[in-house]
Amino acid sequence: MRKIFILFVTSLISAAAPYPEFSRAPYVQLANHEMTTVVWRTAGPSTPVVKYGQTADQLTEEVPADQILIRLHPDEKGPAPLFHDTPKGTHQFEATIKGLSPDTIYHYGIFQDGKQITVADGTHHFKTHPIPGSEAPVYFWVVGDSGTGGSAQAKVHDAMIAHNEKTGRKLDLYLHVGDMAYGSGTNKEFSDRFFKMYEPTLRNTVCWASMGNHEGRTSKGASGIGPYYDAYICPTKGEVGGLPSGREAFYSFDYGKVHFICLDSHDLDRKPSGEMAQWLKADLEKTKAEFLIAYFHHPPYTKGSHDSDREGQLIEMREHIMPILESGGVDVVFTGHSHIYERSMLIDGAYQTPTTAEGVVFDDGDGDPAGDGAYRKSKGLTPNNGTVQVVTGHGGTGVRRVGTLPLMRRIIVENGSCLFTIKGDTIIGEMLNLNGEIRDTFAITKKGVVEHTPIVNPWQPKPKGEVAEKSSGKVPKNTTALIPKNAKWSYLAGKQPGGSATDWTQTAFDHSSWPTGTAGFGYGDKDDVTYLSKMRGKYTTVYLRREFDLPEGAKLDSIGLSVSYDDAFIAYLNGKEVLRVGVDKGQGPTADGFTLHEADNKFDYFPLKNVAKLLEPGGTNVLAIEGHNANIKSSDFTIHPLLLIAK
């Protein structure tokens, strides 16, 4: 926690001294509708000033050196000392720019002796918040468990930048739900694994952070001391709206008509009688916002790399904190800690341990405006009107899944991040993976009065490792092959068929340009005849087509598919889908929600039910298969179908 000090430094060094290099490049913090703070570090002393203006070439206003707070190593004399693991000689500068206009872009630069030290390329800028309560939209990025300093973290960041460049959008703010500096949140780990990794974004976008357990190894919420608290300047006095908390460990802020709440789920009392919960209740009573977003590190609901039915911090956040948030009308809760992407249905009151879906799901659709439709809530903050939980702990570290939580509508074991827009009466959320692909979309529309009744038997996600259709195991006796093992197929790999998503499955489709190959198709596990050597890292879907004849007097109700597959597939007969295994939704390039499956050189048998009416005895019949790999970097892939019929 910070006290306000002003340090006069003019006499400390010579004005002619060379300016030391940035040990942390400039970044922006603690912003509201008329103020922003610029922070940076150098490895030695200087007397800088900050100049700013509304264009990059007209920095006409100034924060002079004697109004910039300077923080030093605790062994060196100065106010608000830095944590003891900071290198000696480090100077952290904190320059607060006041008297700004709302919802306005300002450019800034760091100057020493009249010379601009920051690069004058127009990327050092910030945008003030709109006036609290105004109708201004907000577009923000949400990341968790990212601070490895590795390639996955970099790709997730790059994917966000590329997506925004492609769509012509700019972030208004950035939420981090913790574990941004593995493994112990030290000064060096923050510098190398957070500030250097995100520098192009941090120079112009405020990161509003929540402390994770890894930062908690060196920083303490009760004292507000440690590298985490040196890195961020969080509101303690209600400077950005919300009720003053007196602590940087938990706080709230407003952006237009949206109220954001950050909590410390790691090392503070989570009980309803505790300081944090009591402040939370009072803050929720005070806010007049129309949208409510909460974020913290430990997820109340997850079966990713952590289990919310078994771990104390997670259970307490569910049992003690979620009732307070839901009674305050919370719309979305962001968490991390569990290294996965999980997104719930619209729920309320799921406080039991273990977690069940019975009586707590208001809407079990996918929430996608292009699918089942957006979730609906009443206008404003209505108590217990439904919440969506988003676990976004997939920002850069290794991802995995230990099970299936019954409340989750989407479960994706990939690195990525979330992009959210709140505009008008609607929240739109997207999960962007590290390859720049939108892997999940949902929306919440808030208007009028919406009364919910819990669904008696809500939709349930498939258990981990279970396919959408179960194999009956062994092939029935006395069958003959309509399409035999190692048959010749027309196939398309690395490209998309022309026409609509399923035109290629029709009997009349022109596939004359497709190559032919012998089943099975795949790579990596030495059980494939047609080897797809360029598939790994390039594409995940392979399309197969083959015509077949029906014998005279065939028992059309006794047809089945025997297939060796890794990971998932969809089968079509004469243009109609007849079997879907391990694919949650979509087809072709829009297929999504894959369940992992190993072929292991084995064939599973699936009876094809109610297909007799689709077949053409004496005519042309086509079996079409699209095979899917769940991960573009998977070590193997196989699709090898046989079509069988009883004699």
User: Mean pLDDT across the stretch 228-235?
Assistant: 98
Q: Does pLDDT of 543 surpass 80?
A: yes
Query: Mean pLDDT highest for which of 29-33, 116-120, 533-537?
Result: 29-33
Buried b or exposed e, range 281-310, using 16+ CB within 10 angstroms: bebbeebebbbbbbbbbbbbbbbbbbbbbe
| Cα 278 off chain centre by | 30
Question: What does the CA dihedral 325, 328, 330, 336 come to, rounded to 10 degrees?
Answer: -20
| Residue keyed to tokens 């087809």 | 587
Task: Report the alpha-carbon angle 535-539-542, nearest 5.
Answer: 80
CATH number of 137-446: 3.60.21.10
Q: What's the confidence (pLDDT) of residue 19?
A: 54
Q: Does pLDDT of 541 surpass 90?
A: yes
* Model confidence pTM above 0.85: no
Q: What's the confidence (pLDDT) of residue 7?
A: 36
**Topology annotation, domain 1-128:** Immunoglobulin-like (2.60.40)
Structure tokens at 102: 């709302």
Question: Band of the pLDDT at 470, cuts 50, 70, 90?
Answer: low
Residues 6+ apart with CB under 8 A from 437: none
Q: What's the confidence (pLDDT) of residue 626?
A: 97
> Looking at residue 193, what DSSP letter applies?
I
Residues 6+ apart with CB under 8 A from 225: 83, 219
- Residue 123, classed as helix, strand or coil, is coil
> What's the half-sphere exposure (Cβ side, CA atoms, 13 Å) at 247?
19
Share of the chain above pLDDT 70, in %: 95
Question: Band of the pLDDT at 635, cuts 50, 70, 90?
Answer: confident
> Looking at residue 613, what DSSP letter applies?
G
Question: Band of the pLDDT at 596, cuts 50, 70, 90?
Answer: confident
Question: Band of the pLDDT at 633, cuts 50, 70, 90?
Answer: confident
The architecture (CATH level 2) of 479-646 comes to Sandwich (2.60)
Q: What's the confidence (pLDDT) of residue 467?
A: 43
Question: Would the CATH topology of 137-446 be identical to that of 479-646?
Answer: no
Q: Does pLDDT of 56 surpass 90?
A: yes
> Alpha carbon of 529 to those of 320, 532, 535, 629, 640: distances in Å?
57, 9, 15, 18, 10
Q: What's the confidence (pLDDT) of residue 555?
A: 82
> What's the half-sphere exposure (Cβ side, CA atoms, 13 Å) at 647?
7
Q: What's the confidence (pLDDT) of residue 371?
A: 86
Q: Does pLDDT of 525 surpass 90?
A: no
pLDDT in tens, 550-576: 988 788 888 999 999 999 999 999 999
Task: Please state which of the ranges 280-284, 466-470, 642-646 shows the lowest mean pLDDT.
Answer: 466-470
> Looking at residue 41, what DSSP letter applies?
E
Question: Band of the pLDDT at 472, cuts 50, 70, 90?
Answer: low
Residues 6+ apart with CB under 8 A from 9: 45, 47, 65, 66, 68, 70
User: Mean pLDDT across the stretch 587-607?
Assistant: 85
Question: Band of the pLDDT at 8, cuts 50, 70, 90?
Answer: very low
Q: What φ, ψ does residue 167 adopt, rounded to 5°? A: -90, -5
Q: What is the mean pLDDT of the chain?
A: 92
- Locate the domains of the chain by residue range: 1-128, 137-446, 479-646
User: Mean pLDDT across the stretch 381-410?
Assistant: 96
Q: What's the confidence (pLDDT) of residue 310?
A: 94
User: Mean pLDDT across the stretch 241-256?
Assistant: 98
Question: What does the CA dihedral 105, 106, 107, 111 come to, rounded to 10 degrees?
Answer: -170
Question: Band of the pLDDT at 6, cuts 50, 70, 90?
Answer: very low
pLDDT in tens, 296-305: 999 999 999 9
Q: Does pLDDT of 13 surpass 60?
A: no
**Cα(486)–Cα(489) distance, integer angstroms:** 9
- Residue 338, classed as helix, strand or coil, is coil
Structure tokens at 223: 């004292």
User: Mean pLDDT across the stretch 38-61?
Assistant: 96
User: Where would I find the H helices in 550-635?
Assistant: none
pLDDT in tens, 105-114: 999 999 999 9
Q: Does pLDDT of 3 surpass 70?
A: no
pLDDT in tens, 188-227: 999 999 999 999 999 999 999 999 999 999 999 999 999 9
Q: Does pLDDT of 184 surpass 50?
A: yes
Structure tokens at 192: 């190398």
